[in-house]
């Protein structure tokens, strides 16, 4: 597949890296020549220096033969114009654009998305708000991915000092749950290991569990987690991410509070969000954080716009006693560090934005793509079609690569947690987990031919 990526920021680089790793022909376009040269040295990509909304630049990048254009500059108008030009030059090209301004998004958008000539609009702010909403629905979890309309959950659960499972084999958790449950992996020392009989649970482990919602709830309580509805969330920072998160949680009936140090920002948010309490102050001030309910919050989310500030604020909330603390982090090197020092939930707006793009470039009838833990593991939901390699044989005979597994099937609304004897049937919704590097080798399983 021939791909043009317009934009040299963090998201553009991540998109280019991931798509080139999957053996696509990628050309990056941007005005920052130094960033492009650096990308060319680090990645297997071509580069074109120039404005992404200039027809001549896009044509030089190979627009006339491209299969997909991904415009992810910080400027909405540049991204929209790039997609308009792409449609004019090549009608069948798939057009993806990053859009910040809410006026373009959702039912209240001033301009209907269909008029923008874009196949997929990605918004890091909305994607991270979706992730927070999913976490709010599963108390005690550090990671939550939803598949099959919420019927299947992939949940990360940290093992703390109070867990009754410390020192015991993983199978003990399955026995405690009493329902079908798959332990898909164990995150320990910044790596994900496949489960085995030899692994015993240690404090600090994060267990990745796959099952239906009722079984996940029993598994979390079996780990010693308290299952209590998320009622109060405090957000440090009133930027785009904070506003998107507050809007989503308030709509779900969660009492939400935003603290921001800019009085003008507070005034603007107060007019946008009727159901959210907005306070002017510095959320990095421990006394203010305590006075405004940091110790009593079910989740404190640090979204201040600076990753170091986010880490500091999340740890302040942890020290005060917040039930769960989250920090927005996009730098790959900081993500495992944040978990190590005590941040429960690491949210990456840019990483979550990558998932819908991956869905577009996968072969097969792909329904959803989700990533876990610094993109160490990818979850793919797809519909099994006649002729796909996964259909008709017991899973044990498929010889799937080490580091991959089928986590769940949904058949006639029934969630099935498979074992080696399970046979995938045509029409099943399959949820498969694998390390991203293995995905190109597994295309025969996903698609016919």
Task: Output the CA–CA distances (angstroms, integers) from residue 442 to 93, 170, 389, 399, 439, in the order listed.
Answer: 25, 28, 9, 11, 5
Phi, psi torsion values for 248, nearest 5 degrees? -70, -45
Q: Where are the domains of the chain?
A: 2-122, 140-222, 232-349, 352-446
Superfamily of domain 232-349: NAD(P)-binding Rossmann-like Domain (3.40.50.720)
Task: Output the CA–CA distances (angstroms, integers) from residue 370 to 220, 435, 442, in the order listed.
Answer: 21, 12, 16
Residues 6 or more apart whose Cβ sits within 8 Å of residue 234? 256, 257, 259, 289, 292, 293, 294, 297, 299, 300, 301, 317, 322
**2-122 CATH pick, 3.40.50.1820, 3.40.718.10, 3.40.50.720, 3.65.10.10:** 3.40.50.720
Residue 233 CA to residue 356 CA, distance in Å, equals 27
Q: Which of 445, 357, 363, 354 is nearest to 405 (CA)?
A: 445
Does this chain's domain 2-122 share its CATH topology with 140-222? no
Q: What CATH code would you report for 352-446?
A: 3.30.70.1450
For 292-343, the pLDDT digits (tens) are 999 999 999 999 999 999 999 999 999 999 999 999 998 878 888 898 888 9
Residues 6 or more apart whose Cβ sits within 8 Å of residue 13? 39, 43
SS3 133: helix
**140-222 CATH pick, 3.30.70.1450, 1.10.287.3240, 3.30.1490.20, 3.40.250.10:** 3.30.70.1450
Strand order in the sheet with 404-411: 365-372, 377-383, 429-434, 404-411, 414-416
pLDDT at 326: 97
pTM beyond 0.75: the answer is: yes
Mean pLDDT for the chain?
90
Tokens representing residue 178 in the block: 């009493």
Please list the rounded mean pLDDT of every run of 10 residues in the chain (449 residues).
Answer: 94 91 92 95 94 96 96 93 93 90 62 70 90 94 93 93 91 84 88 85 92 89 89 96 95 96 96 94 95 94 96 96 95 86 90 85 82 83 93 93 92 93 96 88 83
- Assess contact for 280 and 260: CB atoms under 8 A: yes
CA angle (413, 363, 402) in 5-degree steps: 80
């Amino acid at each position: 597949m021939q791909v043009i990526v317009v934009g040299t920021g963090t998201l553009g680089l991540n998109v280019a890296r991931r798509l080139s790793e999957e053996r696509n022909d990628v050309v990056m376009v941007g005005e920052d020549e130094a960033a492009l040269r650096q990308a060319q040295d680090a990645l297997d990509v071509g580069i074109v220096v120039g404005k992404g909304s200039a027809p001549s630049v896009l044509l030089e990048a190979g627009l006339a033969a491209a299969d997909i254009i991904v415009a992810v500059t910080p400027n909405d108008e540049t991204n929209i114009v790039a997609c308009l030009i792409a449609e004019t030059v090549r009608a069948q090209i798939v057009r993806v654009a990053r859009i910040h301004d809410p006026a373009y998004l959702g039912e209240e958008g001033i301009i209907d998305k269909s008029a923008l000539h874009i196949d997929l609009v990605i918004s890091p702010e909305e994607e991270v708000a979706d992730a927070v909403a999913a976490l709010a629905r599963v108390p005690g979890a550090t990671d939550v991915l939803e598949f099959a309309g919420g019927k299947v959950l992939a949940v990360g659960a940290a093992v703390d000092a109070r867990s009754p499972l410390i020192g015991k084999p993983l199978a003990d958790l399955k026995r405690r749950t009493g329902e079908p449950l798959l332990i898909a992996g164990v995150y320990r020392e910044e790596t994900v290991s496949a489960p085995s009989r030899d692994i015993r649970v240690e404090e600090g482990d994060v267990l990745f569990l796959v099952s239906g919602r009722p079984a996940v709830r029993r598994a979390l309580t079996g780990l010693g987690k308290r299952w209590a509805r998320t009622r109060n969330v405090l957000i440090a920072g009133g930027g785009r991410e904070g506003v998107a998160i507050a809007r989503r949680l308030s709509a779900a009936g969660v009492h939400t509070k935003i603290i921001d140090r800019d009085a003008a920002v507070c005034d603007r948010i107060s007019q946008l969000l009727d159901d959210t309490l907005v306070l002017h102050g510095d959320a990095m001030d421990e006394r203010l954080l305590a006075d405004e309910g940091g110790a009593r919050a079910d989740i404190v989310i640090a979204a201040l716009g600076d990753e170091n500030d986010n880490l500091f604020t999340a740890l302040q909330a942890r020290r005060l006693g917040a039930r769960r603390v989250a920090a927005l982090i996009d730098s790959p090197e900081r993500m495992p560090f944040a978990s190590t020092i005590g941040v429960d939930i690491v949210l990456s707006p840019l990483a979550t934005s990558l998932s819908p793009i991956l869905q577009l470039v996968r072969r097969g009838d792909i329904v959803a793509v989700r990533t876990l833990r610094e993109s160490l593991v990818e979850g793919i939901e797809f519909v099994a079609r006649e002729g796909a390699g996964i259909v008709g044989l017991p899973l044990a005979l498929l010889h799937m690569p080490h580091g991959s597994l089928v986590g769940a099937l949904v058949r006639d609304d029934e969630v099935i947690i498979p074992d080696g004897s399970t046979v995938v049937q045509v029409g099943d919704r399959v949820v498969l987990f694998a390390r991203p590097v293995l995905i190109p080798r597994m295309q025969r399983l996903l698609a016919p031919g």
